[in-house]
């Protein structure tokens, strides 16, 4: 009886261990490869994702799905495409992502990205999931700008620099002339102020002399005019 119980326990333990080993091997991610795709901004581009039938298995009702995400933006899952053709979007980029559900049964999980923007450029990953939290394979797509558009962007940047350079020189010259004018105005203002002070002092001196007619007009005694005048006033 005890021997029979031990055999049953050993059999269950062996079955559990086999399932664990098989499951762990099945969830090991296989790197398929990377594809470089170039496009022009504001155009449509196909991001390819194809998995072999050996990865999909023979069970067409299994819970198998491909998940697209952009790795250059953390945690930015885009869309999930199931083997049976069901599609679930997390971020459809303002309805610019188009899927092909009828092709997923054959292992084709490619997507079409419309009206490509600058923020769309970067590295994408297409992961094949089986069940829950079990990724068995993935492939990457590097999306970049075509050489033709790079040339256009570089040429446009050069033209902009050439157009801005004369404007900068002109602004610098205008600023210099403006500063010179300001300095001239300040200098003339200082001269006018000095002349006004001298004029006011001269007028004050004349008024004092005219008021104090009995005071000495000797130039050497000009310093005592104010004293004599003050005494006369008293």
Inter-residue contact 52 to 73 (CB < 8 Å): no
Q: What is the pLDDT of residue 42?
A: 95
Q: Which of 141, 115, 140, 123 has its CA nearest to residue 40?
A: 115
Q: What is the pLDDT of residue 175?
A: 57
For the segment 75-88, what is each residue's pLDDT rounded down to a tens digit? 689 999 999 999 99
What is the enclosing helix (H) or strand (E) of 125? Answer: strand 122-130
* Averaged pLDDT score across all residues of the chain: 73
Rounded-to-integer distance, Cα 49 and Cα 37, Å: 12
Tokens of 137: 């394979």
Q: What is the pLDDT of residue 76?
A: 85
- Of the pLDDT bands very low, low, confident and very high (cuts 50, 70, 90), residue 203 is low
Q: Is the pLDDT of residue 106 over 70?
A: yes
DSSP annotation of 132 reads S
| Residue with tokens 């310093």, as numbered in its chain | 223
For the segment 207-218, what is each residue's pLDDT rounded down to a tens digit? 544 544 444 445
């Amino acid at each position: 009886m005890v021997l029979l119980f031990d055999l049953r326990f050993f059999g269950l333990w062996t079955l559990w261990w086999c399932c664990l080993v098989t499951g762990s091997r099945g969830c090991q991610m296989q790197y398929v490869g990377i594809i470089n795709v170039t496009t022009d901004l504001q155009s449509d581009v196909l991001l390819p994702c194809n998995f072999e039938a050996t990865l999909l298995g023979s069970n067409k009702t299994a819970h198998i799905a491909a998940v697209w995400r952009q790795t250059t933006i953390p945690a930015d899952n885009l869309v999930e495409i199931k083997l049976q053709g069901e599609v679930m979007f997390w971020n459809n980029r303002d309805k610019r992502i188009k899927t092909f559900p009828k092709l997923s049964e054959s292992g084709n999980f490619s997507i079409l990205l419309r009206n490509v923007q600058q923020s769309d450029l970067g590295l994408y990953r297409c992961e094949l999931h089986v069940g829950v939290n079990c990724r068995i394979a993935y492939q990457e797509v590097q999306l970049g700008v075509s050489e033709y558009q790079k040339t256009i962007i570089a040429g446009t940047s050069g033209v902009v620099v050439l157009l801005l350079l004369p404007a900068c020189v002109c602004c610098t010259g205008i600023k210099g002339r403006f500063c010179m004018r300001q300095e001239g105005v300040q200098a003339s203002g200082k001269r006018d102020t000095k002349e006004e002070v001298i004029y006011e002092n001269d007028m004050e001196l004349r008024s004092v002399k005219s008021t104090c007619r009995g005071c000495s007009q000797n130039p050497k005694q000009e310093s005592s005019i104010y004293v004599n005048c003050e005494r006369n006033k008293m």
